[in-house]
Amino acid sequence: MSSESDFTPPMMRVPEPGTKIRVLVVDDHPPMRIGLVALIKSQPGMDVVAEASDGEEGIEVYEDVRPDVVLMDLRMPGMGGVEAILAIRKKDPEARVIVLSTYDMDEDIHRAIQSGAKSYLLKDMSIEEIASTIRSVYLGDSLLPRQVAERLTERSEREQLTERERDVLESLIKGRSNKEIASSLCLSEDTVKSHLKTLFAKLRVRDRTGAAVEAIRHGIVHLK
């Protein structure tokens, strides 16, 4: 996360003078959370009204303080960001959540936007860009930085895996043999081989190693 940038905010509406945007920060890394809180508090018209260290705590705190905007980390122990966003928006469909993540993998971005996030930012973006996005989302806009939007475009151009193919892929990454995959998913070995052939084609790879690399690179499967 940088404090300096050549970022130029686009022409957009701004909050009324005197408005104080109340922000909730949810992040499991204390140094990152502390730094982010300090940076947000340094911005005019913004205040951090609460912090949380994981998704479950974020949901509880949201209920208590009802912030204007939530900055949500994506990958956290226990309940992750996507699950937390879904839970918060179930309770409050008008909730405004911005994902702030280290990861720019297209599947992560897709899951976050599908869950109801209004934007997706990366932690190495400048405070000017983060603050500008907070103001825009507070006013009801949804927007994505160019590099994030490009990732979503990349995903849309890739043939998507079925739920069963994802199951097979997750088992493959765990190092299971075809026989073990078949047993764990209640499939025949021939069916597993068929799924592997199809997902290799969709991922444009030739073998199991290539499939694992592509799955991790795009965020289709996360290493625990």
- Count: domains in the chain: 2
Asked if 221 contacts 170 with a C-beta cutoff of 8 angstroms, the reply is yes
Checking if the pLDDT of 7 tops 60, the result is no
Are residues 54 and 136 both part of a single domain? yes
Residue 100 confidence (pLDDT) = 94
CATH code of 134's domain: 3.40.50.2300
Q: Say if 1 falls within a structural domain.
A: no
Domain match, 63 and 90 both: yes
* Whether 128 and 97 share a structural domain: yes
- Report residue 196 as tokens: 């592997």
Residue 177 and residue 112 in one domain: no
Query: What residue type is 164 in one-letter code?
Result: R
Strands laid side by side in the 119-122 sheet: 46-52, 21-26, 69-72, 97-101, 119-122
Last residue of a domain, one of 155, 189, 204: 155
Residue 194 belongs to what H/E stretch?
helix 189-203
| Same domain, residue pair 133 and 53 | yes
Question: Do 169 and 141 share a domain, yes or no?
Answer: no
Q: Quick one: which of 174, 142, 152, 158 has its CA closest to 108?
A: 152
Phi then psi dihedrals of residue 135, to 5 deg: -65, -40
How large is the average pLDDT for residues 89-111? 92
Residue with tokens 């994902």: 99
> Does residue 107 lie within any of the structural domains?
yes
Distance between CA 60 and CA 91 in Å, rounded? 11
Give me the helices (H) in 66-188, please: 81-91, 106-115, 127-138, 146-156, 163-173, 178-185
One domain, residues 120 and 194: no
CATH number at residue 179: 1.10.10.10
Same domain, 212 and 148: no
Q: Would you say residue 16 lies in a domain? A: no
For residue 130, being part of any structural domain is answered with yes
Longest dimension (CA), the chain: 66
Instruction: Please say which residue of 133, 155, 177 terminates a domain.
Output: 155
Which of 122, 155, 188 is the last residue in one of the domains?
Answer: 155
Each residue of 20-59: b (16+ CB within 10 Å) or e?
ebbbbbbbbeeebbebbbebbeebebbebbbbbbbbebbb
Residue 99 has pLDDT above 90, yes or no: yes
Are 121 and 100 members of one domain?
Answer: yes
Amino acid at 118: K
Between CA 58 and CA 153 the distance in angstroms is 30
Residue 207 lies in a domain: yes
CA dist 146 and 125 (Å) reads: 12
Q: Residue 7 domain-assigned?
A: no
Question: For residue 167, what pLDDT band results from cuts at 50, 70 and 90?
Answer: very high
pLDDT in tens, 29-38: 999 999 999 9
Per-residue pLDDT at 1: 55
Q: If pLDDT is split at 50, 70 and 90, which confidence band does 2 have?
A: very low
Residue 11 pLDDT > 70: no
Looking at the domain assignment, is residue 91 inside a domain? yes
The whole domain housing 72 covers 21-155
Residue 99's beta-bridge partner residues?
A: 72, 120
The answer as to whether 47 is a domain residue is: yes
